[in-house]
Structure 1
Amino acid sequence: MGKGDGGRVSMVRLRGGGGIPFMKFFLAGTSVATITLQFFRPDLLPSPIGVGFDSVIRSSRALHTIGFVAVDYRYSLRGMDTSSDEYRSTLAEVNLRSAKRILKLCEVNRGFYVKAGQYFSSIRQIPKEYSSLLSSLQDQALPCNFKDVKRVLMKNLGKDMSQIFLMFDEEPIAAASIAQVHHAVLLDNHEVAVKVQYPGLEQRMKIDIITMTILSKLVAWVFPDYRFECVVSEFKKSISLELDFIKEAQNSERTAMNFKENNMIMVPQVFWELTSKQVLTMQFCKGYKVDDLNFYKKSGINPVKIAKALMDLFAEMIFIHGFVHGDPHPGNVLVCPQGHNDFCMVILDHGIYKELDAKFRLDYCQLWKALILLDSQKIHQLGKNFGVAKYAKYFPVIFTGRTINSKSALGSQLSAEERAILKKDLKSLNMNDISQFMESLSSDFLAVLRTDGLLRSTISKLGAPQQLRLLAYAKHAVYGLDRESSLKNQGYKIRSVISRSRTNISYLQLIIFLKMLDLLSKFEQLRRKLFKTINLMFLLLFGEDKTSNYLI
C-alpha cells in the first residue's frame, strides 16, 4: 500500500516500544473482522440481537479506520522537526487523508457516527481539514419501516392510530439519525408533526459511545498530544439528552416562554397528551431552511436581515437567558414569509440545550465587552476565570479575528504585518497546547464555542459581514451584564427606565468606539495608499524612495 493508504506499517514505532507487532496484529485483526462481518445481515436477525450484531460491525469498522489513521500519522510525521515548514505541510496532507477516511466511516456507519462527525466539525479548534470535510455530513437516514413506527406509536400512546389521527402520512417528511418525522392530522383537525424515535436506539447508542470512548483513549495513547476525551464526554451527554423527547418538549416550552414577547420568533406548540420519551407531537410549521438563498431571491427578502435576526436570537439566548440551543444548523431554523418584518423564524429540534452557569454567563458577557474594546488586562483576567490564562491572548483571534494588539477595525482583515506576527506566534503552538486548551475549558465554554461556529457558517452563507455577528454579541453582552439576577429564565426585561437608559448609553459608547476605530482604520488605509502613490511617483521621476522613512 502507498503512503496515502496508511501502508508500510512495518516501519512504524508506537509509544511503549511495541509498535510493529501491535499495529500489525491490530490492523490484521480488525481487517478480518470487518470483512467477515459484512457477510452477515443484522437486519434479518431478531431484535435486539440484530441491533447488537449491527453495533459490533460498526465498532469493528471504526476500530479498523482509526487504526489506519494512527499508522498514517505515526509513519508520515516520523523524525520531522515539529517547528519546520515541512512538518506543517506534511501534517496538513495527513489531516486531509485522515479526514476523508473518517468522513467515509461516518457515512457508512451513519446514525450516531454522523452526529459525532457533525459535532466535531463545529468545533473551530480542530484542524481545518477535518472541520471542512466533516461539516458536509448530512444528518439523514434511511426511513424506518412503517410497521416499526406504528409499533413505537402504539406502545407509547396506548391507543390504535385510528383513535388519534384523522390522517397519518406513512412517508416521513424527515429522517435523521435518531428519529423520523411524520405529517399528520388529529381528529380535531389540528395539523401536527409527529417525531418517532427508532426502536433499539438506546442499546445501539450505548455500544457506539463505548466504541468512541475506546477510540479517543487509543488516540491519546498513541499520540499523547491529541487528547479529545473531553469532547467525547460532552457528545455523550448531549446525545443522551437528545434521546428523551419529554426533555425536548420541556426545552421547547421554556424557549417559547423566553421569546414570548418577540413576534419574529416562533416555537411549535407541544401536544402533551401525545408526547412520551419516544414520541413527540407538536404543531406542524411550514417554512424554508434559514440558508435557503433561492427562497430569499424569489420572495424578495434580504438575507442579511435574516442573518441579523438569527444573530440577535442566539445572542439573546447566550447573554440574556443563559439557555442555549445546542444544534443551530440551518435545518433547525425555518423562515416563514409572514409575521413582523415580512418573516418569522421557527426554531425546531430542542433536544440539545445548554443551561449556562450564572457566573460563566456574566464572565462571558464581560469577555465580549473586553474583546470589543480590546481591553487586554481584562481579557487576561477573564482567561484566569475560564481556566485558560496561558491562552487568553488568543481569545481575540478565536472570536473576532483580531490579535490582542490589533489596530484593525472590528470585523476587518488583519494587516499583512499583523498576519506575519500572528503566524510566527502560532508556530510555537502544537497539538498538546490545543488539547490542553480544550481540556481546560468548561462544558459551558465548549457549548458556546460550538454554537458560535455553526452560526458563523450560516451567516457567511447568507452573505452577511462578520461585523454583524460581533455587533449582535456586543449589544447583548452589555444588556446581559445589566440584567436583574432575580429575573433568571423569566424573559428579557430591564428592571427600570433608569437602568434601561444606562444600558443603552453603555451600548452607544461601544458603538461610538467601534465607529471611531473604523474611521481610524480607513484613515490609515487612505494614508498608506497616498504614501504608496507618492512613492511610486518618486520612483518613476527620480528612481529612489523618498517616503519610506515616513511610513510607520
Structure 2
Amino acid sequence: MTDIPRRTASRTAKLAGIPLGVAGRAAAGFGRRLTGGDRDEISAQLAAKSAEQLFAVLGELKGGAMKFGQALSVFEAAVPDEFAEPYREALTQLQSAAPPMPMTDVDFMLTQQFGRSWKARFTEFDETPAASASIGQVHRAVWQDGREVAVKVQYPGAEEALRSDLRQLGRMSRILQPLVPGMEVRPLVAELRDRMEEELDYRDEATYQREFAAVYEGDPEVKIPRVVASAPKAVVTEWVQGRPLASIIRDGTRDERDHAGERLARFHYSAPDRAQLLHADPHPGNFGILDDGRLLVLDFGAVARLPDGMPAELVTMTKLSLERRGGDLMALMRAAGFVVDGTRIDPEQIISYLAPFTEPLETEEFRFTRRWIQAQAERVGDLRNPEASIGRSLNLPPKFLLVHRVTMGTLGILCQLDARVRLREIVAEWQPEMFESDAPTG
C-alpha cells in the first residue's frame, strides 16, 4: 500500500516548486533584457518554459492538480498561439493520461470496495490500465456474464491529495494567472474545490450515469454506457470505445470536426431539458465519436442538477442581448444579482461583453475558431479597452457558476475542433423562447 503522508508531502513540494521556477525564470529573463535581448522573444520563451513546467507537474501529480490542469485545457484555445503552442501537447495528455498506480494498489482498493473475492466477479481483468485520470484509473475487464466492462478505481489517498493540491493551487493562483491570460484562476480553483468533494464518492457518479443512460437509451446521436456495479471508490460500467475528441482536434478532417462539434453542442443544450442534468466536466478526454457517428460521453463525477432545465435568467439574458434590449438586460441582471451594487454600466457595453454567448447565435452557421475565442479573451482582458472594466462591475451568482463554466468549456472545445456548427438551430430546438419575439411594439 502506498505511503500516503510521504507522497502528499512530495506532491506539495513539487507544486510549491512551480512559482519558484516561474520567479527564477522571470529574474533570468530580466537580466537577459538588461544585456540587450529582445523583450517580446524573451517573454514568450519564459511563458513557454513556465507553462511546460506547470502542465508537466500537474499531469504527474493527478488529484486536484491534474483536475485543475484539465479545466485549463478546455480554455487552451483562448490562449494566444505563441504561448499555447509549446504546451498544447501537454494539455492534451492531461485530458486522458497520467502515470498509473501499481496493481498492488488496485487490488487493495477493489478488495476494500467489493471484498476479497472481487476477482470472482470477472472472467478477465487487464492489470494494465486503459486510462489514467485525475482521481482514478480505468481497467478493461470482462464481467461474469460475458460483457466487456470498464472498471474505474479511485487512487488510494485521493481525498488527502485532492485537498492538499487545491489548497496549494489556491495560494498560487496569483502567480499562475499570467500563464492563462483571459481566464480568472482563483474562482476556478474555488469551484473545483467544491465540486471535487462531490466527485470522491463514485456512488453519486453511478447514480448520475444511470439517470443519463436511461434518458438517452436508444438515442441515435448520444451513447451513455450503462452502469454494471458501483461502490464508494469503484464503479463498473459497460466498455464502449470511440475515437477520442482529442484525436479529432489533432488531425480530424473537416467533416469529422464539424460532426463532432454538432454532436457535442446538441448534447450540451439538450441535456438540461431532457434529463434536468448537465454534464459538468467538459474536456475532450470525456468525449469520443463512435463508428456509427454517435457522441460517446464518459465520466459523470461532476454533474449539475437543473430541475427546471437551463436557468431561465440565463436564457432571457441571452435573448435580450440578441435583441439588443440593453435597458431590459441591465434590469434583469441587477435583479438576478449579476451586477455589483452601486456600479453603473453602459447597456451597450454589456451587450458587447456578452458577445461570446451571442455571436454564434446570430447566424445560421457559425465557425468556432481559436482566433475567434482568442479575440474575445483579449478584448475583455485588455485593460485599455473600456469593456475590460465591466468584468469588475459584474458578479456571477453561485447558482449560475457551474452552468457558466460548462458553457464556456463547451465553446472552448468547439474552438479547439475548429467546428462549423448550426448552433442557432440547436438552441432554438431546446430553448425556443430565446427566439420568440416579445419585444414591446412602438
TM norm. shorter chain > 0.5: yes
Flag the 1:128–1:451 CA change in 2: closer, same or farther, 3 A.
farther
**Structure 2 CA distance, aligned partners of 1:363 and 1:283?**
37
Q: 1:451 — aligned with what?
A: 406
Shift of 1:75: 10
Quick check: 1:240 aligned with 2:197?
Answer: yes
* Mapping of residues 512-523 of structure 1, within 5 Å: none
Contact 1:307 1:462 in 2 (8 A): yes
Contact 1:116 1:235 in 2 (8 A): yes
Quick check: 1:334 aligned with 2:288?
Answer: yes
**Structure 2 CA distance, aligned partners of 1:141 and 1:219?**
21
1:141 aligned counterpart, secondary structure: coil
Q: Aligned partner of 1:54: which letter?
A: S
Residue 239 of structure 2 is aligned with which of 284, 288, 293? Answer: 284
2:140 aligned counterpart, secondary structure: strand
Shift of 1:193: 0.5
Q: Aligned partner of 1:107: which letter?
A: A
Shift of 1:195: 0.5
Residue 399 of structure 1 is aligned with which of 357, 372, 376? Answer: 357
Q: 1:47 — aligned with what?
A: 3
Q: Aligned partner of 1:465: which letter?
A: R
Residue 265 of structure 1 is aligned with which of 208, 222, 233? Answer: 222
Q: Aligned partner of 1:164: which letter?
A: R
1:182 aligned counterpart, secondary structure: strand
Shift of 1:119: 1.5
Q: 1:107 — aligned with what?
A: 56
Flag the 1:271–1:125 CA change in 2: closer, same or farther, 3 A.
closer
**Structure 2 CA distance, aligned partners of 1:410 and 1:371?**
19
**Structure 2 CA distance, aligned partners of 1:443 and 1:72?**
41
Shift of 1:443: 3.9
* Mapping of residues 423-502 of structure 1, within 5 Å: 428-429=384-385, 433=389, 436=392, 440-460=395-415, 462-465=417-420, 468-478=422-432
Unpaired runs of 5+ residues, structure 1, are 1-44, 78-88, 221-225, 414-418, 482-505, 511-552
Q: Aligned partner of 1:48: which letter?
A: I
Q: Aligned partner of 2:173: which letter?
A: S
Unpaired runs of 5+ residues, structure 2, are 178-182, 369-374
Contact 1:287 1:334 in 2 (8 A): yes
Quick check: 1:152 aligned with 2:101?
Answer: no
Shift of 1:108: 2.7
Residue 387 of structure 1 is aligned with which of 333, 338, 343? Answer: 338
Flag the 1:397–1:143 CA change in 2: closer, same or farther, 3 A.
same
Number of equivalenced pairs? 406
* Mapping of residues 151-190 of structure 1, within 5 Å: 151-190=108-147
Deviates most, 426-435 or 167-176: 426-435
Contact 1:366 1:477 in 2 (8 A): no
Shift of 1:155: 1.3
**Structure 2 CA distance, aligned partners of 1:284 and 1:53?**
36
Shift of 1:345: 2.2
Flag the 1:424–1:187 CA change in 2: closer, same or farther, 3 A.
closer
Residue 267 of structure 2 is aligned with which of 291, 313, 316? Answer: 313
2:225 aligned counterpart, secondary structure: coil
Q: Aligned partner of 1:354: which letter?
A: A
Contact 1:369 1:478 in 2 (8 A): no
Q: Aligned partner of 2:419: which letter?
A: A
Q: Aligned partner of 2:411: which letter?
A: R
Contact 1:180 1:198 in 2 (8 A): yes
Deviations 1:320-367 (A, max 9, x none): 6552212232321222223xxxx3222111111223585971011112
**Structure 2 CA distance, aligned partners of 1:337 and 1:252?**
22
2:204 aligned counterpart, secondary structure: helix
Q: 1:376 — aligned with what?
A: 326
Deviations 1:202-234 (A, max 9, x none): 1111211111122236789xxxxx974322110
**Structure 1 CA distance, aligned partners of 2:414 and 2:173?**
32
* Mapping of residues 1-20 of structure 1, within 5 Å: none
Flag the 1:326–1:218 CA change in 2: closer, same or farther, 3 A.
same
Flag the 1:462–1:423 CA change in 2: closer, same or farther, 3 A.
closer
Q: State the Cα RMSD in Å.
A: 4.4
Contact 2:282 2:409 in 1 (8 A): yes
Contact 2:103 2:127 in 1 (8 A): yes
Q: 1:12 — aligned with what?
A: none
Shift of 1:125: 11
Q: Aligned partner of 1:166: which letter?
A: T
Higher relative contact order (CA 8 A, sep 6+): 2
Q: Aligned partner of 1:344: which letter?
A: R
**Structure 1 CA distance, aligned partners of 2:212 and 2:286?**
14
Shift of 1:122: 3.3
Q: 1:529 — aligned with what?
A: none
Shift of 1:285: 1.0
Shift of 1:425: 11
Flag the 1:59–1:286 CA change in 2: closer, same or farther, 3 A.
closer
- TM-score, scaled relative to structure 1: 0.62
Residue 299 of structure 2 is aligned with which of 349, 364, 370? Answer: 349
Q: Aligned partner of 1:314: which letter?
A: H
Contact 2:100 2:129 in 1 (8 A): yes
Shift of 1:109: 4.4
Contact 2:360 2:423 in 1 (8 A): no
Flag the 1:425–1:457 CA change in 2: closer, same or farther, 3 A.
closer
Deviates most, 391-400 or 125-134: 125-134
**Structure 2 CA distance, aligned partners of 1:248 and 1:440?**
30
Larger radius of gyration: 1
